[in-house]
Amino acid sequence: MTKFILALSLLALTMPSVANAHGGGCRKSSPPGQCCHMDNSTGVVHCH
């Protein structure tokens, strides 16, 4: 049980690094309620 809790704790500590936010700002043409911006590494506009 201790190994399970340790593994779960390590997983929880590493998860925020996987979902890092990225800058870029919102385009003025973004649909209402969404933020669209260019992903410079791929050249694709995406919204969220």
For residue range 10-26, what is the model confidence (pLDDT) as tens digits? 777 766 544 555 566 78
Specify if 30 maps to a domain. Answer: yes
Nearest of 39, 40, 16 to residue 48 by alpha carbon: 39
Q: What pLDDT sits at residue 18?
A: 46
For 35, other C-beta atoms within 10 Å of its C-beta total 13
Specify if 17 maps to a domain. Answer: no
Number of domains in the chain: 1
Specify if 11 maps to a domain. Answer: no
Specify if 31 maps to a domain. Answer: yes
Specify if 38 maps to a domain. Answer: yes
In this prediction, what percent of the chain has a pLDDT beyond 90? 0
Q: What is the DSSP letter of 30?
A: P
Specify if 29 maps to a domain. Answer: yes
**3-state secondary structure at position 39:** strand
Model confidence, pTM: 0.42
Q: What pLDDT sits at residue 15?
A: 60
Specify if 46 maps to a domain. Answer: yes
Range of the domain at 35: 22-48
